[in-house]
Structure 1
Amino acid sequence: MHRSEREPVGALIVAVPETAGSSLYGMVDVLLAAGQVWQNLVSGEPGRPLFQVRIVSPGKAPFSCGNGIPVVPACAVADAPKADILILPELWLDPDEDLHGRYPELMAWIRHQYAAGATLYSACSGAVMLAETGLLDGCEATSHWGYRELFSKRYPKVSFRPEPNLVFANSSGRIVTAGGTTSWHDLALHIIARHGSPGEALRVAKVYLLKWHGEGQLPYAPLVRRTLHGDTVVRACEEWLTGHFRETAVIHRVVEQARVPERTLKRRFKAATGTSLIAYLQNLRIEEAKRLLETGSLAVDEISAAVSYEDPSFFRRLFKRCTGLTPSQYRRLFHPVLKASGNGPGT
């Protein structure tokens, strides 16, 4: 029997005070529109909903989530029905903030829903809640790239992948995590395609102007992030490299600046920053190349030379390895955004 002739898929979306309202209500709105909005706009017929969507919380009382957005739960976990799918939307959490000790009844309930056959989906930092249940232990998962270190420190049993936009935790396909903040768009389309049809997902994407982020998260992630550490020699090297990365013989010169043996400096740099000295230099150069692609009209070969790579072929390979895109693809992705905002070339 075709999905439109069946009962709607039961979808429960978890909301707690840390939940991001945009992700929560965006997901509610898009899923409730599936099976109906295109039909109303194009054929004038009412259509049939593909999903029955309800918000579930630890308690039934209304509360405010992120930025004071009101939430009125349809049910509490104690009386929530069995779900076909369970969605954990984005949370407002600091990059080093986990959920340890919070919502123990909710965590147990999520595990129970999974054991009862529900398919679990998380968007962005909702993966932190999913990781707290233990259901991601031994599995692959993604979230916003900003939570990579949190997963490494607090959830080391999870194989965190910051590159993709969607990750299936295991071969069963019953746990799916989505990446950065607006990845709930991709997740919603995936859910509609999987539990409805790919055609309906495409129709909803057209109505809502939703873009599938097939490029993944790498193009959006900064390559250089300062790590807090107490090694003053390494910190001085970081500062020096920031001002001299465009120059030649940089590794030799930074070793001279540090006044310690090269092998010792490389070992201390890796221990303090988590990144090798050469990788840190490359990241600085690729970040500058990204800036030039975003804001200017220099040819790719000229940008390669500007960041001290005499071999443009090597530069292109390195750029794609770091960002997931070729330089030309990166420019097409980000240059129009800056032009539209009035910050691009010629403005």
Structure 2
Amino acid sequence: MNAQAEPLRISLLALPQTTPAAVYGLFEVLSAVGSIWDRLTGQQTRARRISTEIVAGRKEAFTCAIGTPIQPHATFADTKSTDVVIVTDLALPLDGDAAGGWTDEMAWVRAQLDAGATICSVCTGSIFLAEAGLLDGKDAASHWIAADIFRDRYPRVKFRPERIVCDMDPEGRLITTGGASSWEDLALHLIARYSGKEEAARIAKVFLLGDRSDGQLPFAAMAKPRRHEDAAIGNCQVWIADNYAAANPVTRMVAESGLPERTFKRRFKAATGYTPVDYVQSLRIEEAKQMLEATTEATDAIAETVGYEDPAFFRRLFRRHTGITPAQYRQRFRMRRP
């Protein structure tokens, strides 16, 4: 993805029935694309950034369906064009008339679709799209509790209660998701599409999006290196970044530093927060994680590439760092890529 491209513009449509979790969750996560990984880890990325705004009929703050204030950034008149519109989940009655007098909002969304925008919904936000006639003849997801509403009020929509992300529109410009928390899946889906699969994986790690049954370790990455003034140790960090797979790396860093071994180890820990061995192992595991995400190379081959001749030792070390096996790690972070 071209980091120099214009930021993708995503508009979150706020309605009187909007609930706040998805609006503010999407705003925070999407606004972090292309910047937060660099800040936290110091690793430079080239992901296309996303400009996110909350759009409503009026710019004044209003109280949403569950009593939380929502402050729009722009009105429909301010937003003549956008790249993506997201209608988040809505607090609607389960019987009777689900529509909420959305004439202006539906006209604006239709205009954006006609102009080439991708239109998305989270959970019961798909009822808005169905009311606007945008889902007729199409597959669509929503919360499972909305099945009766779709059956009775929108019979032309092919309701798919089993889907989390339903991106089955032939042109790829209508995306619906099921369940209130499915905004997380939609966020990663859009990030992968517009800013790259690698950035989607990074954002999942930062915000711990996905299966958390194994705790935080599977999401963790090596933190941004500390700032320090120890030039000898800094030179060793530069050397090891390019030579982490070398044999006897700590011995070679000691030689590179020109310091006595005990002095080197003491100064290395003081400067970086790591022992030299832990630092090398962390670098190697980070490289192995990237290879597991981005390639189909066998685990034993990856172990050798990053500096471990004993695959069993590598697997034990990997599990100690991440809480899961290399195979589990690959399955988790490759599966969440569209």
Q: TM-score range by the shorter chain?
A: 0.5 to 0.7
Residues 96, 147 of structure 1: 8 Å contact kept: no
- Paired residues for 1:47-62 under 5 Å: 50-62=49-61
In structure 2, what is the Cα distance between the partners aligned to 1:169 and 1:111?
Answer: 19
Q: CA RMSD in A?
A: 1.9
In structure 2, what is the Cα distance between the partners aligned to 1:76 and 1:133?
Answer: 19
Query: Once the two structures are superposed, what CA deviation does each residue of 1:133-177 show, in whole Å capped at 9, x if it has no partner?
Result: 101011110101010011001111101010011112421110000
- Paired residues for 1:1-347 under 5 Å: 2-43=1-42, 50-96=49-95, 98-100=97-99, 102-211=101-210
Query: Once the two structures are superposed, what CA deviation does each residue of 1:26-53 show, in whole Å capped at 9, x if it has no partner?
Result: 0000000111111111117698761111
C-alpha displacement at 1:95, in angstroms? 2.5
**What amino acid maps onto 2:154 in structure 1?**
Y
In structure 2, what is the Cα distance between the partners aligned to 1:98 and 1:140?
Answer: 22
In structure 1, what is the Cα distance between the partners aligned to 2:94 and 2:100?
Answer: 17
Query: Once the two structures are superposed, what CA deviation does each residue of 1:250-270 show, in whole Å capped at 9, x if it has no partner?
Result: xxxxxxxxxxxxxxxxxxxxx
Residues 123, 178 of structure 1: 8 Å contact kept: yes
CA separation of 1:51/1:130 partners in 2, compared to 1, >3 Å: closer, same or farther?
same
In structure 2, what is the Cα distance between the partners aligned to 1:46 and 1:172?
Answer: 29
C-alpha displacement at 1:110, in angstroms? 0.6
Q: Secondary structure at the match of 1:67?
A: coil
In structure 1, what is the Cα distance between the partners aligned to 2:28 and 2:2?
Answer: 19
**What amino acid maps onto 2:133 in structure 1?**
G
Residues 23, 88 of structure 2: 8 Å contact kept: yes
Residues 166, 176 of structure 2: 8 Å contact kept: yes
Query: Which runs of 5 or more residues in structure 2 are unaligned?
Result: 213-338
Query: Once the two structures are superposed, what CA deviation does each residue of 1:166-206 show, in whole Å capped at 9, x if it has no partner?
Result: 11242111000011111000000001000110100000001
C-alpha displacement at 1:75, in angstroms? 1.2
**What amino acid maps onto 1:39 in structure 2?**
D
Query: Which runs of 5 or more residues in structure 1 are unaligned?
Result: 214-347
* Aligned residue pair count: 212
**What amino acid maps onto 1:160 in structure 2?**
F
TM-score (norm 2): 0.60
C-alpha displacement at 1:94, in angstroms? 2.8
**What amino acid maps onto 2:115 in structure 1?**
A
In structure 2, what is the Cα distance between the partners aligned to 1:169 and 1:149?
Answer: 22
**What amino acid maps onto 2:60 in structure 1?**
A
Structure with the greater relative contact order (CA < 8 A, sep ≥ 6): 1 or 2? 2
State the match for 1:243 in structure 2: none
Residues 47, 199 of structure 2: 8 Å contact kept: no
CA separation of 1:212/1:198 partners in 2, compared to 1, >3 Å: closer, same or farther?
farther
